[in-house]
Amino acid sequence: MAFTQQETSKTAQAGKLKMHYNEAGQGEPLICIHGGGPGASGWSNYSRNIDELAKHFRTILIDLPGFGKTDKPKIEGGFMAFMATAVRDLMDTLGIQRANFIGNSLGGGTTLKFAMDFPDRANRLVLMGAGGGIPMFTPMPTEGIKHLMNFYEPPGPSIEKLKAFINVMVYDSSKLTDELLKERYAAATQPDVIANTPLRRSTMAQIEPLWKDLGKVRNKTLIIWGRDDRTVPLDSGLIMLSQMPDVQFHVFSKCGHWAQWEKAYEFNRLVITYLTGTE
């Protein structure tokens, strides 16, 4: 059975926020957190993974504040702390005391901050192309970050800007479809998104230097990276490998920032094996 976006769509009040998520499957909770690109959402990041993950877990694809169908509040305080608290509040509403996590990019940084702030609520972690590290060799900002930060800047969003951004996300852009581009553009240009975009150069919230506290993350962690990531480069994950006490590191060649999308079959097998403790 292939799950659809519509049949898995749910909303819940999480603290002060109304949050949207997609849910499928039963068993141990698994929370999947998306990246921060224009038009990102839980479904857009994990649509190629939910069918397999839901065979083993109660799989929840969260739309973070400011994204998808979740409320678009003004981000107050530290960016990652705000996101992590929203995830905690949603877990409280859903009656989830402890969960495994998958986090991509911004979602990876959110997952790290969640594990730092609420260590008793997180079990195993999977981070891919995760924020929160610091590059050893690559000049910053990267090509992908430049596209991300400039998408909403004057003269404003355009389909050309989004196509340039998405082309950087993957190793082989020939696999991208017009349907994907149209869906992301429609999501990125909703009036409430444009009015209060979480990630843009002119109104950027404070992003905490999580790399300074990586040693606090005691969870068993699988780090996944695309060797050819042009947004959060592979070398920014090396500090995670060196500082986190219980970690594995897996690298896909011919793969960009969307490992879960470009390498979906291999990703699903790797993650399920790791999270079920059969590695």
257 in active site: yes
**Structural tokens at position 213:** 């506290």
Q: Around Cβ 174, how many Cβ atoms within 10 Å?
A: 5
Comparing CA positions, the residue from 211, 205, 199, 207 lying closest to residue 136 is 211
Comparing CA positions, the residue from 153, 138, 112 lying closest to residue 232 is 138
Comparing CA positions, the residue from 2, 38, 26, 57 lying closest to residue 276 is 57
Quote the CA–CA distance of 72 and 75 in Å, as a whole number: 9
**Structural tokens at position 110:** 């959110």
Q: Annotated catalytic residue: which of 20, 56, 147, 257?
A: 257
Comparing CA positions, the residue from 42, 21, 164, 173 lying closest to residue 104 is 42
Quote the CA–CA distance of 221 and 248 in Å, as a whole number: 6
Q: Work out whether the CA dihedral 196, 202, 208, 210 comes out positive or negative.
A: positive
The half-sphere exposure of 128 on its side-chain side, counting CA atoms within 13 A, is 34
Comparing CA positions, the residue from 225, 6, 67 lying closest to residue 131 is 225
Q: Around Cβ 138, how many Cβ atoms within 10 Å?
A: 15
- Give catalytic residues, as residue numbers: 257
